[in-house]
Chain A
Amino acid sequence: MATITGSMVGVLRRPTSHYGVWSWMTTVDHKRIGVLYGVTSFIFFLIGGVEALVLRLQLAFPDGKVVDPEVFNQLFTMHATTMVFLVIMPLSAAFFNFLIPLQIGARDVAFPRLNAFSYWVFVAGGVFINSSFLFGGAPNAGWFGYANLTSRAFNAGSGVDFWALGLLGLGTASLAASFNFIVTILNMRAPGMTMMRMPLFTWMTLVVAFLLIFAMPIIAVALIQLELDRSPLATNFFNPANGGDPILWQHLFWLFGHPEVYILILPAMGIVSEVLPTFARKPLFGYPAVVFAGVFIGFMGWGVWAHHMFTVGLGPVANSVFAVTTMFIAVPTGIKIFNWIATLWGGSLKFTTAMLFSIGFISMFIIGGLSGLTHASPPTDYQQQDTYYIVAHFHYVLFGGSILALFSGFYFWWPKGTGKLLDEGLGKLNFWLMIIGMNLTFGPMHILGLNGMPRRIYTYPSGMGWEFWNLIETAGSLVIALSVLVFIINVVRTSRNGKEAGPDPWDGRTLEWSIPSPPPEYNFATVPVVQGRDAFWIEKYGLHGGEGAHHAAPPSHTAGSGNGDGHAIHMPQGSYLPMVTAFGQTLMLAGVIFGYWLSGVGLVIMLGGVYAWCSEPVSD
């Protein structure tokens, strides 16, 4: 075995090309992996968006006939699964990957090949879940997959298996990436970059990574139990007929699922915390408070899960406790919002597209937070639970929150990644269409929910008072689609003839703006020495920044200048093996559906990949 694998490694020499498709597929460069994450999850964003449009078309009028009820259930399940696991999480990962080493003054992440592995597992998992459309139907039990509707007895198709196994696979991608980023952030900071000098986005990434390594095992356990229940072993974890309990699933799912909400929103808060100070030309107000509020949200996120279950019948004591914990998570959230507003106060606000999206984030997130308060209270939640009011709430948080912030991040860091500025005119059109569209789409959902329209219904009759707002919502969703189209046009146009960005187009504050755009493979020719928070700002304006000094002296460590162009810097070489290992792992999972022989093949490929990975030569 050893000799066979050894010779295989000999055949598979480490790839050395820096150009072409193959170099991208074997890359271990964190920036390229970040770009891959971004492009892939944007494609999933389009898929999930089209699913949402079909849902909206079906509901535009009473007695809609666009899709049949089974397809409707599949579409809303896949819309949510896609947007949560294949869009917001990996899109945040795109930013982690691209930015973290740049922000902390490192040349790469701690484990570059593990980083590539995370990406390939994510791609394979995403393709695997979506392939269910071709193999007899997608999952149809909602993104929360409540037992016992997911049992074989009530759900005979393999859609639920694609969903459960796919999420299991995606979980390993998140775990690998989280360990990688925790080690990177803790160990690879440039000299002088103490924890309390780290950029906010790096801090929020660290918190999210910890949340992921605790949350993912919980959902993994639940998913394995579900698959055991559905397997020929026919266990009874969630089967009430034989003493199991479907409510166990809900506890496990939301014990994962609520921290997951913060996994989705904290990176967005990190992005906003970078964009606002830059375009206000002021440091983030109350940096320590913002950091600790983020950490505190991360902790408290573990103590609120049962607010998803107020109507389950847990009793008045449990409902009271979870109501109170849920309300008090608003305190650290409020701290963040007030600090962002105070950052703007007294600033010199420049309304670039990135800034508009970040301001939009604050405004929309406040709405989502306040509607959340009304269903943090169980008696009012008894009326709101499982209605469109809840759909409105979490779209204000996840679209108005996460997605707007991620777009802010696109416009902000795009020039760093590509060297070209996105067009500001198209960018502002993008912003206004998106914010008008989202308010038209999700705003009326509050009204419909309070007017008694339940979620997840494929049709409704006329005469319920729901027609008008449903039509408005559908129109709004088309406006959102238009805004995304404008974004795509912007990207295509500016990649052809965009303005050169230069290293520091926004008068940036953090280290990534001190190096060329796009950054060289080695990031920093000389490792920067950090003197305080907003490290690059200090280099430009001095420690007491801004009061007198205007662009005093050019930063001393700007990459590439007079340092031998970094030719002497050794960077890790590409590798095929992360992709091979990820492929093997996904085959293993697919085998549960297509036959255990396939799992065997996958296991051999995965173990072979790991073995070769371990024995791969450092350089050829």
Chain B
Amino acid sequence: MRNLAQSSLPARAATGLAKGATLSSRRSAAASFLSLVLVGVLALFITSCSGKDPQDTLSSVGEVAKKQQELFWIIFAWAALVFVLVQGLLLFILFRFRRRSENEMPAQTHGNTRLEIAWTLAPVVILVSVAIPTVASIFDLAKEHDVSMQVKVIGHQWWWEFQYPGLGVVTANELHLPVGEVVAFDLQSADVIHSFWVPKLAGKQDVVPGRSNPLTIKVDEPGTFLGQCAELCGIQHAQMKFRVVVQEKAQFDQWVKDQRTPVQPPGDPAMVKGSLIVQQKCSACHTIQGLAGAVGKVGPTLTHIGGRGTIAAGVLNNTPENLARWIRDPQEVKRGALMPNLGLTEDEIQAVVPYLLSLK
């Protein structure tokens, strides 16, 4: 490079600083705005770690999510450092070198090879120090684990199916996991691409038709965690939610036992009426183990729907009123959902709802 600086930058900086010190404190609007941004952005990040919000990625609970969060703070620290230094330098320059007279003609500096090399190498150093923990973390997360449980996740438009092959349990939209165990997920899709994401437990992994993607989750404390689909999958992508209930081992085993129990024929005549309507109207699409003919695979299993916290893939709380509203007109609750309006009479709905809610 032949165009070397005509006057060296450090020298000019020194004289610049000296001149700057004697100037009045009039600040340009640009400078004050940038300092506002500087402080503001950092403050915003800090206020964002409240921890109470159900999908906060910065108050993670699962082991995988914790590792990802740790790495985030390392990279964020580097980014914040660069942000403060570079924006601060820019701010200083804008203030220091503003035009004071229209006749000013600054030195016509064309470049400086040493500086060019310096600000090529500085980012390289920072990037290497980000790349090393990144690659280490990628392989750490992909490591084979001693797995104590398998769960197969099947994404459907717009609900989640969870199969526990070792336990003979199939459920929907509510995943139960035992505390402290390493659970290996096998992610598959029945239709389009979805993405399986429980922010507090682990980063997302896409659910791709024709593929089977692995994901490992380990949670060391009980609790209920929210998850939702993270890849655009059609009209109700926003309402493809689920919850993860992490339980102590004994409670989890009890849940498994309940799930494996088929439903019993109802004794109460009102319930019998409900079960007959369900058999007639719902069984082509939904499975209810123990109810003759109810083996449909299109919609989520209803075998123990009464025991779930929500319906319609996390959209409504599972109350009699909400269940009635859903059955009355699913399209009113979740436009575009694949469940049609069945045209049940109000009388029929009032029979179906208590029956379904009795399936705990």
On A, residues with C-beta under 8 Å from B are 68-70, 73, 140-142, 146, 148-149, 154, 240-241, 245-247, 280-283, 285-289, 311-313, 315-316, 319-320, 323-324, 327-328, 330-331, 334-335, 337-339, 341-342, 344-351, 356, 359, 362-363, 366-367, 370-371, 373-374, 376-387, 432, 435, 439, 443-444, 446-447, 450-460, 463-466, 544-547, 550
Contacts and interface: CB of A to CB of B under 8 A. Distances in A.
A378 B98 CA distance: 42
Given A246-B208, A327-B130, A383 B53 contact: no
Contact of B127 (A327, A367, A460): A327
Given A149-B233, A547-B108, A382 B86 contact: no
B236 A349 contact: no
A466 B111 CA distance: 48
A465 B106 contact: no
Contact of A359 (B30, B57, B111): B30
Nearest to B107: A346
B67 A379 contact: yes
Contacts of A378: 134, 138
A546 B203 contact: no
B110 to A, nearest CB: 6
B147 to A, nearest CB: 18
B130 A373 contact: yes
Contacts of A338: 115, 119
A431 to B, nearest CB: 9
B134 A379 contact: yes
Contacts of A346: 7, 9, 12, 16, 97, 106-107, 109
B72 A351 contact: no
Contacts of A347: 97, 106
Contacts of A154: 157, 191-192, 234
Given A282-B109, A285-B111, A459-B238, A383 B192 contact: no
A545 to B, nearest CB: 5
A348 B12 CA distance: 13
A446 B94 contact: no
Contacts of B342: none
B33 A383 contact: no
A382 B116 CA distance: 35
Contacts of B112: 285-286, 342
Contact of B203 (A311, A337, A456): A311
Given A349-B97, A439-B37, A452 B54 contact: yes
Contacts of B13: 345
A247 B123 contact: no
Nearest to B118: A338
Contacts of A330: 123, 127
A351 B213 contact: no
Contacts of A457: 237-238
A509 to B, nearest CB: 11
A14 to B, nearest CB: 47
Interface in B41-87: 41, 44-45, 47-48, 50, 52-58, 65, 67-69, 71-72, 75-76, 78-79, 82-83, 86-87
Interface stretch (B169-177, B224-232, B244-252): B224-232
A323 B214 CA distance: 20
The winner among B56, B68, B87, B233 for most chain A CB atoms within 10 A is B68
Contacts of B53: 451-452, 464-466
A383 B72 contact: yes
A402 B269 CA distance: 69
Nearest to B69: A383
A450 B104 contact: no
B83 A377 contact: no
B105 A281 contact: yes
Interface of B: 1, 3, 7, 9, 12-13, 16, 28-30, 33-34, 37, 40-41, 44-45, 47-48, 50, 52-58, 65, 67-69, 71-72, 75-76, 78-79, 82-83, 86-87, 89-90, 93-94, 97-100, 103-112, 115-116, 119-120, 122-124, 127, 130-131, 134-135, 137-139, 141-142, 157, 191-193, 195, 197, 199, 202-206, 208-211, 213-214, 226, 228-239, 335-336
Interface centre among B82, B119, B139, B199 (most CB of A within 10 A): B119
A382 B203 CA distance: 4
A338 B114 CA distance: 13
Contact of A544 (B86, B108, B139): B108
Contacts, number: 319
B87 A363 contact: yes
18 contacts: A146-B231, A154-B191, A281-B104, A320-B139, A330-B123, A331-B124, A341-B89, A341-B93, A342-B109, A344-B93, A346-B109, A348-B105, A377-B134, A378-B138, A379-B67, A443-B44, A456-B237, A465-B50
A346 B110 CA distance: 12
A323 B56 CA distance: 24
A335 B210 CA distance: 43
A281 B236 CA distance: 55
A254 B191 CA distance: 22
Contacts of A334: 119-120, 122-123
B39 to A, nearest CB: 12
A149 B234 contact: yes
Contacts of A380: 68, 71-72, 75, 203
Contacts of B65: 383
Nearest to B189: A240
Nearest to B59: A451
A246 B209 contact: yes
Given A311-B203, A377-B137, 12 more contacts: A246-B193, A281-B105, A282-B109, A341-B90, A347-B106, A381-B203, A382-B204, A383-B69, A383-B72, A444-B44, A452-B226, A546-B105
Looking at A141, A359, A374, the one whose CB has the most chain B CB atoms below 10 A away is A374
Top 6 closest pairs, chain A to chain B, by CB:
A382-B203, A452-B55, A240-B210, A465-B53, A457-B238, A313-B213
**Max chain A Cβ within 10 angstroms of own Cβ: one of B13, B205, B210, B213:** B210
Contacts of A458: 238
Given A382-B202, A383-B203, A454 B108 contact: no
**B50, B54, B127 interface centre (most CB from chain A within 10 Å):** B127
